[in-house]
Structure formats: C-alpha cells, structure tokens
Structure 1
Amino acid sequence: MIYQRIPPQPALQAFVKEYLLLHFVYDPAKPTLVKAFPPLPEHGLEFFPKGLVTSDNPLTGEVKKAPRNAVFGQQVSRINFVMPAEDYVMIRVIFHAGGLFRLLRIPLTEFTDKKIDAEAVINQEVRQVNDRLANTINYREMIAIVEHYLLGKIRRVKSDIHAADKIGAILLHNPTRFSLDWLADQACLSPRQLERKFVERMGIGPKLFGRIARFHKAFLWKEANPEADWLSVAVKFGYTDFHHLFKDFKEFAGVTPNTLLSESARSPEKVLRLT
C-alpha cells in the first residue's frame, strides 16, 4: 500500500500545496473499508485512474459514485467514503488558499461541499491525463504527468494572489479566534470586502473556514498526542472550554471526539498499513 504526501516542483509551489497519492489492492472477500471524512480546510483536483469510491452523506442519506476526475471545493459536512475492493489509485492535488479560484476563475461557492466532474468544469484534457495515469505503474511518472498538465494550465493564469488568499493562509497556519475586523485590517480591506472576496475565492466565509481549520488541527494534534486529555486540546487550540470543542466535533464530524478517534483508527490507510 502507498499513502504518501508529495511536495510540488518549484514552478508550481505558488499554486499547489501538495499531492496525496493513495494506492492499494484490497481483497473483496475481506470486510468493506470505510473512511470517515470530516471537513478539511482544502480544495483542489482529484484523479482516479483505477477504482472509484462511493460517497455516503450520513446527514442527507445521499449515496453516489465519485467522478473519474473531480474538482472538489471546501467541504463543510462529513462524508463517509466506501472504498472499492479492487486495484485503487487516487491522486489528490491540494491547492493553496485561493489557488483553485485563480486557476479556474469560477467562484468557489459553485463547489462548496461538492465533487464535480472535472471534464464538465475544465475540458476533456483531464480525461487524457487520467488515461495516461492508468497506463503507468510508476509513481514518479504519475506525479510528472499531473504536473505537466498543471504547468500548462498555470502558464495561462494571469491573476495574482489576492489579499483574501493571504488571510486564508493565516487561518490555516494559526486558526485562532481572530475577529473579522482584525482580519480585514490585515488585508487592508473593509470587513464586507474581505467577506465577499473570501467567499468567492474559498467557497465559505473566513469565520467558518477558520473553525474548520482549527477543528482539523486540534484533531490531528490529539491523534499525535493520545495521552493528552480533550480539555488540554481545547485550551491549546483556543476553544473556550471542552463543550465548545465538543460542539464543533458534533457539527463537522457528526460524532463525539472519541468516536471520531475510533473511526479514524479504522481508516483504510491505517488498517492496510497494519496488515
């Protein structure tokens, strides 16, 4: 099994944060693998050259297959991914804050909490990229194929990083309880201007984006520090108390903090690494 985060080449670093490469072959006779997927503060592109996951929204009950190539926006609700019992390869291109908007020039509100067929949004080039990915077993070549495609797209992008993108980067790095007025001051914009531009370029407002980023950081830190109690986690990440943290977990993950830890321990990348 391969589960690897890969940095982009220098020419793409202004747009792309990293790639996530996942490859496994799973025995269909074994129990189905399900990945609990609460919101992450990220957006980008996904390629599925082999195998397709099925997404299950526990809130709405909607179940559907992922498109072969997808544009994904900012997730705000929990999804369960039912993993295929077959040869499965995924490459996720994770952009910096505002990077996907700069590439597509489409308001990111169109993609909030959605995965949309990339062929319908961009063009059929992405299908050709996916076909090339499916015809190689070399991981370096896979990343090279994706980067060649991205370089061709980014060379035609003329827009620069906006102040709202920089606020997104601030919230990703340190998602504490900044006021909208303070953030707007850092961007040299009015609060209304910042809110409008941020929503356009990130798909949601800065307050919600910061909450998702903090929830994600808090959970990752707790996973890495299992001996810490939840109150210590809450204090470390700027929650007023444990109940404040608990409320965010229930909103974004739909379960208690400890239940999410248990679900995460059964994630495919963790289960398969142990076998």
Structure 2
Amino acid sequence: MIYQRIPPQLALQAFVKEYLLLHFRYDPTNSPLVKPFPPLPEHGLEFFLKGLVTSLNPSTGVEKIEPRIAIFGQPVSRINFKMPTADYLMIRVIFHVGGLFRLFRIPLSEFTDLKVDAESIIGQEVRGINDRLANTNGYSEMLAVVEYYLLSKIRQVRADSHAVDQIGQLLLHNPTSFSLDWLANQACLSPRQLERKFVERLGIGPKLYSRIARFHQTFLWKEAHPDADWLTVAVHFGYTDFHHLFKEFKEFAGVTPNTLLAQYALSPEKILRLV
C-alpha cells in the first residue's frame, strides 16, 4: 500500500498545499474496507485512476458512487467511504485556503459538503488529464501530469490572494475563540463583507471553519498521543471542558471520541501493509 503526502513544486505552492497519493491492492474475497471521514478543513480535486468509492452519509442515509474526477468542497458532515476491493489508486490535490477559488473562479459555497463531477464544472479538458494519467508509468509521472495541468491553469489566473485567504490560514492554524469584528478589521472589511467573502472562497463562515479546524487538530493530536486523557486534550485545545469537546465530536463525527478513534483505526491506511 502507498499512502503518501507529497508537496507541490515551487511554482504551485501559492495554490496547492499538498497531494495525497493512495494506492492499495486488496483481496476481493474479504469484506470491503470502510474509512470514516469526519469534517476536516480542506477542499480540492480528486482523480480516481483505479476503482471507485461508494460514500454513505450516516445522518441522512444517502449512499452514492463518487465520480471518477471530482471537485470536493468544504465538508461539514461525517461521511463513510466504502473502498473498492482489488486495485485502487487515487490522487487528491489539496488546495490552500482560497486556492481552488482563485484557480477556477468557482464559488465554494456551491460545493459545501459535496463531491461533484469535475468535468461538469471545469470543462472536458480535465477528462483528457485523467486519460493521460491512465497511461503513465509510475507515480512520479502521474504527479507530473497533474502538475502540468495545474500550471497551465495558474498562467490564466488574474485574481491574486485576498485578505480573507490570510484570515482562513490564521484560523486553520490557530482555531481559537475570536471576535468576528476583530477578524473583519484585520481584513479591512465589515463583518458582513468578511462573512460573504469567506463563504464564497471557503464554502462556510469563519466560525464554523474555525470549529472544524479545531476539531480536526484535536482528533489528530489525540490519535498521536493515545495516553493523554480527554480532559487534558480538551483543555489543551481550548474547549471549556470535556462535555464541550464531547458535543463537538457528536456533531461532526456522529459518535463519541473513543468510538471515532476505534473506527479510524480500521481505515485502509491503518490496517494494510505497504505494497
């Protein structure tokens, strides 16, 4: 199995945070693998080169097969992904805050909590990229094809980054309590303008984005520090108490903190050996 996060080349670093490369082979006689995917602060573009994923929203019961080339907006709901058996290969392009909006000029408010067919949004050109990816030899060549496409798009970009993008980066790395008026002042905007621009470029408002960012940081930290008790974790990340943290986990993951950790431990990247 390959599960690797790869930084972009220098010319793309203002737009692209990283690539996620996932490739595994799995015995089709075994039960399908399921990956819990609670909200995290990211959005991007995905290429499914081998195999497709079936997604299930536990809160709504909606189940669907995801498109082969997909744009995904900011998630706000827990999704379970049922991974295909046999051979699966995916490349995910994860953008910096505001990067996807700047590159394709598409309001992220239209894609909140959604994964949609990229060809219907950014044109048939992206289908050709997928065809080229299918005929590559090796992971490096695949990434080169994706980067060539992204570079061609960057050359057409006119809009530079906005102050709201910097606010988003601030909340991504420091998702603590804040005053909306203070944030708006930092961006030289009114609170209403900040909210509107934030939703346009990230899909959700700054308060919800900050909550999701903190939830994600908390979960990753606890996973890396299994011996830490939940009260210590809650205090470390600025929750008022354990019950506050517990409530956030129930809202974003639909389960208790310990249950989510147990489910996450059964993700493909956790239980499969490297190939």
Task: Give the TM-score, by structure 2 length.
Answer: 0.98
Q: Which residue number corresponds to residue 128 of structure 1? A: 128
Letter in 1 for 2:180: L
Unmatched runs of 5 consecutive residues or more in structure 1: none
State the one-letter code of the partner of 2:115: K
Amino acid at match of 2:4: Q
Query: Per-residue deviation at 1:86?
Result: 2.0
Displacement of 1:90 in angstroms is: 0.6
In the other structure, the counterpart of 2:66 is 66
CA positional deviation for 1:128: 1.2
SS at structure 1 position matched to 2:74: coil
Q: 1-side partners of 2:100 and 2:70: how far apart?
A: 12
Q: CA deviation at 1:106?
A: 1.8
Aligned to 1:232: 232
Describe the SS at the equivalent of 1:24.
strand
Amino acid at match of 2:146: V
What corresponds to 1:9 in structure 2?
A: 9
Residue-by-residue CA offset, 1:118-158 (whole Å, 9 max, x unaligned): 00001111111111212224111111010000000111011
1: CA distance, partners of 2:264 / 2:274? 14
**Where does residue 52 of structure 2 map in the other structure?**
52
Matched, 1:268 2:265: no
Structure 2 Cα separation of the partners of residues 197 and 273 of structure 1: 44
The answer as to whether partners of 2:2 and 2:274 remain within 8 angstroms in 1 is no
Contact 2:19 2:94 in 1 (8 A): yes
CA-atom RMSD in angstroms? 1.1
Kindly provide the amino acid, as one letter, of the partner of residue 273 in structure 2.
Answer: R
Q: Which residue is 2:33 aligned to? A: 33
Counterpart of 1:114 in structure 2: which amino acid?
L
Q: Distance in 2 between matches of 1:32 and 1:88?
A: 12
Distance 1:33 1:243 in 2: 31
Local SS of the residue matching 1:273: coil
Range with bigger deviation, 175-184 or 47-56: 175-184
* Cα distance in 2 between the residues matched to 1:188 and 1:239: 29
Q: Does the 8 Å CA contact 2:164/2:187 hold for their aligned counterparts?
A: yes
Task: Give the SS at the match of 2:195.
Answer: helix
Partner residue in 2 for 1:211:
211
* SS of the residue 2:272 aligns to: helix
**Within 2, Cα distance between the matches of 1:22 and 1:119?**
22
Q: Number of matched residues?
A: 275
SS at 2:92's partner residue? strand
Seq. identity, %: 77
TM-score by length of 1: 0.98
The match for 1:101 is 101
Corresponding position of 2:241: 241
Provide Cα deviations, 1:59-115, integer angstroms capped at 9, x if missing partner: 111111010100100000000000000211110000000111111212111100000
Correspondence for 1:82: 82
What pairs with 1:115-194 in structure 2 (closer than 5 Å)? 115-194=115-194
Deviations 1:210-252 (CA, angstroms, capped at 9, x unpaired) = 0000000000000000110111111111111111111110000
